[in-house]
Amino acid sequence: MASYKNTYKNVEESQVDTAIIPVGATEQHGPHLPLGVDWMLANAVAQGVGEKLNAYVLPAMPFGASQAHKGFRGSVWIDHNTLAAVVKDLAHCLMEQGFRRIVIMNMHGGNIVLKVAVRELNFNHPDCRVLLVFPQAVATKDLVGVIDNITVEGHAGEFETSMMLHLHPDLVQGPGPDCLPDVPPDFLDYLPMQLATPTGVWGRASFASTDKGERAFKIVVDKTAAMIAASFQRLDEIAQKQKPGIHERH
């Protein structure tokens, strides 16, 4: 794996053509977790996936679209358009230097504008392939046997707390609270999270454990890497099939 930490001299000459742009956030994660959870998980999962795919891994973007966390002190956010612009700038830098496969790895549900950015990048640069992956969603089906509440988890619950207990146990303070709001998750499009859950937790943090975190982390990394590899391969196959058709028409 190529990493921003040690390969800035070699990346251009290397055979590595895949780059990962991890995107996190800095926002409240209940009374028991630090505000940097999404950024820390983005870094850790991207490093794990990068190793499996021999990809160049950028440092995770620490700021995202955390508007829904307004009112919880310390949470910060950038405009949706700013986030899209930063990610597109980074992708363009990578494309200019020969990277043809770019993965935008999102660890924060509020970063919804990334879907727009990834479409723009792909349709403006047909010679490159840009994927958008949300590791937690990719792995949800496989996490069912590990994280009891995975299907009702929203934020700072059993999944994120377990992951942090595994990766940064020193930053977790005691068992977190349980809170399952009586509104569906799309209510975060209508109101600040604080009104749905005063603790800032959307899930059952008290179910978390280090063992669950270790198992969940492995599943998330494995499934995300496999999904990325399969998606790039499928896109290559489709491009190969298209070529003769294009020639016939001209």
Residues that bind Zn ion (CB under 5 A): 37-38
- Please tell me whether residue 20 adopts helix, strand or coil conformation: strand
Nearer to Zn ion, 17 or 178 (CB): 178
Nearer to Zn ion, 19 or 46 (CB): 46
Q: Rounded to the nearest whole angstrom, what is the least distance from the CB of residue 41 to Zn ion in the complex? A: 7
Nearer to Zn ion, 37 or 193 (CB): 37
Q: Rounded to the nearest whole angstrom, what is the least distance from the CB of residue 163 to Zn ion in the complex? A: 9
Report the Cα 182 to chain-centroid distance in Å. 26
Q: Rounded to the nearest whole angstrom, what is the least distance from the CB of residue 57 to Zn ion in the complex? A: 20
Q: Rounded to the nearest whole angstrom, what is the least distance from the CB of residue 225 to Zn ion in the complex? A: 21
Nearer to Zn ion, 37 or 57 (CB): 37
Report the Cα 189 to chain-centroid distance in Å. 20
Shortest-Cβ-distance residue relative to Zn ion: 38
Nearer to Zn ion, 38 or 158 (CB): 38
R_g over Cα of the chain = 19
Q: Rounded to the nearest whole angstrom, what is the least distance from the CB of residue 5 to Zn ion in the complex? A: 24
The first and second tokens of residue 125, run together, are: 């640069």
Neighbours of 56 (CB within 10 A): 25
Q: Are 41 and 49 in contact (CB under 8 A)?
A: no
Distance CA 4, CA 99 (A): 14
The single residue listed with the structure tokens 């251009």 is 12
